[in-house]
Copies of this chain bind each other. A is one copy, B any other.
Amino acid sequence: MDEIISLDYGSGGKKTARLIEKLILPRLDNPALRELGDGAIVDGGEKLVFSTDSFVVSPLFFPGGDIGKLSVCGTVNDLSMCGAEPKYLSCSFIIEEGFPFSELERIVESMAVQCEKAGVQIVTGDTKVVEKGRGDGIYINTAGIGVLRHPGLGPGNIRPGDKVLVSGFVGDHGTAVMLARNQMMQGEIASDCAALNGLTEAILSVAPGVRILRDPTRGGVATTLNEFVEGTALGIELEEARIPVRPQVQAACDMLGLDPLYCANEGKLLAVAAPEDADKVLAAMKNHELGTDAAIIGEVTERYPGKLTMRTAFGGSRVLQKLSGAQLPRIC
């Protein structure tokens, strides 16, 4: 096999077949992936959840993860937040001509490891190659199917007095990627990139009535919480002092002119729970390896309808808007 990807590997002919046989199948193999040409037969269920994401993160490799790990975790997490048990993924590569096989191999290996951890299978895929200068190394799309285990999660369920929880330190992923991109503070901050289906399962098994779960990726905690209440008669009030932020993430954000509340997370979730459920949800998070630093960070209120506000550490209060521009382009 060559050392770098040429356009021929996107031809749909012999070279594409060789790429799949030699590089991709050895690590991602399963009966459904081998079975059919352009599609995979999977077992359905009564209600399914279907989700997709394209990943264009730059750089491709960063402390705590890479684009391959991200592409599996991202779609697994989207399915999990909908109350589904993630089952099957598709995977499609858009590769820039000249991309090194060695990096593609690392990425595929990383996807394989995450699939095993998350208990999902990649069952169908596609590979395209574009000319040098028409891409940026590699872009990956994954789509996913999950079986709906907990119907009814959604912002419509939120009530005044509900508690807002986060499963751990915020802003790690966005900060880690920005530092890697700027080659600053090498290795001090790692992305939190992780598959959250185990954590959501743990939460929903003790508190099936939880209102909503959501992973605050692009746009961060502040944007996601805004989405919960915008256009409704309810607001959310955060307490700054309760929001877990690593000191080194805060320092890096200060240096880069960023706000951790708007930085992407890839291994954290936000939950809104009724007051009587909040402690159960918190305990379930803290008992799970991905939620040891979980905290109750705020409350649903009728005071500022449609708004996300925060009581600052100094006793003031401010409105946190949705992210309006691209604070951090190509973060996932």
Contacts and interface: CB of A to CB of B under 8 A. Distances in A.
Interface of A: 6-17, 35-56, 78-79, 81-82, 84, 88, 90-94, 123-126, 128-131, 133-136, 139, 141, 143-148, 151, 154, 214-215, 217-219, 223, 227, 264, 321-330
Q: Is the interface of A mostly helix, strand, loop or mixed?
A: mixed
Contact of A136 (B55, B91, B130, B219): B130
A79 to B, nearest CB: 6
Nearest to A154: B36
Contact of A141 (B7, B10, B54, B327): B54
A124 to B, nearest CB: 5
Nearest to A88: B50
Nearest to A47: B41
Nearest to A228: B37
Contacts of A14: 321-324
Copies per complex?
2
27 contacts: A10-B326, A10-B329, A11-B219, A11-B327, A12-B323, A13-B324, A13-B326, A14-B322, A15-B324, A37-B81, A38-B78, A39-B81, A39-B144, A40-B49, A40-B50, A41-B148, A44-B48, A52-B92, A52-B126, A54-B93, A55-B128, A56-B94, A92-B143, A129-B329, A130-B329, A130-B330, A141-B141
Contacts of A93: 54
A25 to B, nearest CB: 15
Contact of A50 (B78, B82, B123, B154): B123
A37 B143 contact: no
Contact of A90 (B13, B143, B147): B143
A250 to B, nearest CB: 21
A227 to B, nearest CB: 7
Given A9-B326, A38-B214, A54-B128, 4 more contacts: A39-B49, A39-B79, A52-B91, A135-B135
Contacts of A8: 324-326
Instruction: State the 5 A-B residue pairs at the shortest beta-carbon distance, nearest first.
Output: A12-B218, A13-B323, A44-B44, A143-B143, A39-B51
A50 B124 CA distance: 7
Contacts of A125: 52
Nearest to A81: B38
Contacts of A151: 41
Given A38-B82, A136-B130, A50 B323 contact: no
Contacts of A146: 39
Contacts of A327: 11, 13
A42 B46 CA distance: 9
A117 to B, nearest CB: 20
Contacts of A10: 218, 326, 329-330
A50 B54 contact: no
Contacts of A154: 35-36
A92 B54 CA distance: 6
